[in-house]
Amino acid sequence: MEVAKTVIVTGGSDGLGSALVDSLIVSGFRVVNISRRENDKAHVNILCDLSTTDGIKNAADSILRMSEPLRAIIHSAGVLSFGDTSSLDGGEYERVFNINTKAPMLITSQLFNKLKADESDIVIINSVAGIQSYPTQTLYNSSKAALHSYTKDLRETLSSTASRVIGVYPGMLDTSMAQKIPDGAMPKSKHPTIKPADLADYIVYTINLPKVMEVSDIVINRKKYSRFNEVQ
Ligand SMILES: NC(=O)c1ccc[n+]([C@@H]2O[C@H](COP(=O)([O-])OP(=O)(O)OC[C@H]3O[C@@H](n4cnc5c(N)ncnc54)[C@H](OP(=O)(O)O)[C@@H]3O)[C@@H](O)[C@H]2O)c1
């Protein structure tokens, strides 16, 4: 079988997704970004709003029109939300779940036959918040916990195929995600955060591992040790 060189990255216009685009290009991959803004380094940009069902369908249809096989799809697009269980808002619920949970599930479903035929890996960027609840981010925790459950379900569904389903569960990253929440920017953490380029290189390294190595879940929390602020 031809070795596929194309990787799809959702949310490749910023943060971890943008670092993944850089790292994949260095590794010789052809990269397709899906987000609302372009990444001018990506070989192809599919501009879609993944918070809408039409946007999700447009993204999947655009990929299905591409003739080349896919090496992997990396679902990185995501949004953060703050607020505890006493102040839930329906609009915010939909924003967070649509992008964090519904988009990766529906895009994968719409591409399912192609991903299986191409023996593509499916990398799902989750969060440590998907396996452990953190205070005052109820919607984010819940959207990622649902995504964690879906990841296990998908892995089971694809267990007798060559596709690997790799869940990635990082702690806080040094990106601008916390600056984009609707209620205003969060203050920067006083603890050191993970550099997106370091995590991106690790994910690309993992994709390049022989297929017989079924990496399932990668949990990388940040080590809260203040001296790391000075040495990194
Ligand atoms: N930052 C952290 O501390 C942290 C920790 C653990 C896990 N994560 C996870 O890592 C992933 C990446 O986060 P990040 O920190 O890199 O965030 P980021 O810097 O804010 O980037 C988010 C990306 O998602 C895309 N996106 C957001 N809403 C979208 C929409 N409606 N339609 C299409 N694309 C959309 C954005 O593209 P456009 O704006 O161009 O549409 C952007 O490329 C997320 O899944 C997040 O949950 C982050």
| 1 within a domain of the structure (yes/no) | no
Numbers of helices and strands, H then E, in the chain: 8, 7
| 69 within a domain of the structure (yes/no) | yes
23, 177, 180, 191: which to mutate for ligand 1, most atoms within 8 A of CB? Answer: 177
Kindly tell me the burial class for residue 185, based on how many C-beta atoms sit within 10 Å of its own C-beta (0-12, 13-18, 19 or more): exposed
Total structural domains in the chain?
A: 1
Average pLDDT over residues 187-203: 91
| 88 within a domain of the structure (yes/no) | yes
CA 195 to CA 197: how far, in whole Å?
A: 5
Report pLDDT digits (tens) over 166-177: 999 999 999 999
**203: three-class secondary structure by DSSP:** helix
The DSSP bridge partners found for residue 25 are: none
What spacing in Å lies between the alpha carbon of 49 and ligand 1's midpoint?
12
- Contact in structure between 47 and 68 (CB atoms under 8 Å): no
Domain CATH code at residue 54? 3.40.50.720
Average pLDDT over residues 58-80: 97
Does the C-beta of 50 come closer than 6 Å to ligand 1?
Answer: yes
Of the candidates 119, 73, 91, 106, the residue with the CA atom closest to the CA atom of residue 212: 119
Report pLDDT digits (tens) over 115-133: 999 999 999 999 999 999 9
Tell me the residue range of the domain where 206 lies: 6-231
> pTM for the complete prediction?
0.97
Q: Supply the pLDDT for residue 2.
A: 64
